[in-house]
Amino acid sequence: MPAPTVTARAVTVGESAGGVFLVLGLLSRLTALSLTVHMCLAMVLVNAGTGFTTPRQGVASGAGTELPPMKVAALLVVLPAGPGPLALDASSGSKRSRRGVTGPLAAGPPRCAPRSSAARSGV
């Protein structure tokens, strides 16, 4: 049975590398998407027969499907938001616009010039 061993190794490497990539902020959206697909498949293929909550006793103890939906919800936050300001994606020097915004608003809100003292005094 070499196929389950290969699959188990691929899942282990994928989840470990995906977790490290998310913590470091490398390829955040792509990693979040792939881990979301992986968690959805895990819910359907592994946890479907055990129910939502974890049984306290029996063969299926510790195998409820309440944890994968929580992980999917967290990953769905990363998909539209993208990498944060401390992510390695942001500091790698790539000139990507922030959060998918293009055009004149990509640089952020406009900065106003400080008012002169004459304008403040009402003269």
Tens-place pLDDT, residues 26-58: 998 999 999 999 888 888 887 777 767 766 665
How far out from the chain centre does Cα 119 lie? 48
CA dist 104 and 41 (Å) reads 41
- In angstroms, the CA 81 to CA 94 distance is 17
Question: Which carries the bigger pLDDT value, residue 2 or residue 63?
Answer: 63
pLDDT at 70: 87
Cα 91 from Cα 26, distance rounded (Å): 10
∠62-68-71 over CA atoms, to 5°? Answer: 130
**What's the pLDDT tens digit per position in 71-99?**
899 999 988 888 888 888 776 655 454 55
CB atoms within 10 A of CB 43: 17
Q: How far is CA 71 from CA 24, 79, 99, in A?
A: 18, 13, 22
Question: 93: which 2 tokens?
Answer: 């020097």
Of 11-20, 42-51, 92-101, 111-120, the poorest mean pLDDT is in: 92-101
Angle (nearest 5°) at CA 11 between 92 and 43:
110
